[in-house]
Amino acid sequence: MSKPLATCIGLLVALFFSWPVWANAPLQAGDMAPDFLLADGEGRMRQTSEWRSRWLVLYFYPRDDTPGCTAEAKAFNASLPELAAFKAEVVGVSVDDVASHRAFANSLGLKFPLLADTDGKVSRRYGALNDFAVMKFAKRHTFLIDPDGRIAKVYRDVQPAQHAAEIIADLKRLRAQ
Q: Taking phi first (over 0 means left), then psi (-120 to 50 degrees means alpha), and beta for anything else, what does residue 14 get?
A: alpha
- At CB < 8 A and 24+ separation, what contacts does 99-105 make? 100/64, 100/65, 101/40, 101/41, 101/64, 102/41, 102/42, 103/64, 103/65, 104/41, 104/64, 104/65, 104/73, 105/41
Residues assigned a catalytic role: 69
SS3 for 30-64, per residue? Answer: CCECCCCEEEECCCCEEEHHHHCCCEEEEEECCCC
The Cα 74–Cα 17 span in angstroms is 46
Return mean pLDDT, the chain. Answer: 88
Strand partners, 150: 32
Contacts of 47 (CB under 8 A, 6+ apart): 35, 36, 37, 38
Structural domain spans, the chain: 24-176
Strand partners, 114: 92
Q: Highest mean pLDDT: which of 6-10, 13-17, 107-111, 129-133?
A: 107-111
Residues 24-79 pLDDT 10s: 578 999 899 999 999 999 999 999 999 999 999 999 999 999 999 999 999 999 99
State the pTM of this model. Answer: 0.84
CATH topology of domain 24-176: Glutaredoxin (3.40.30)
The DSSP line for 62-84 is S-TT-HHHHHHHHHHHHHHHHHH
Identify how many contiguous H helices and E strands the chain contains and give both numbers. Answer: 5, 9
pLDDT class of 133 with cuts at 50, 70, 90 = confident
Strand partners, 151: 145
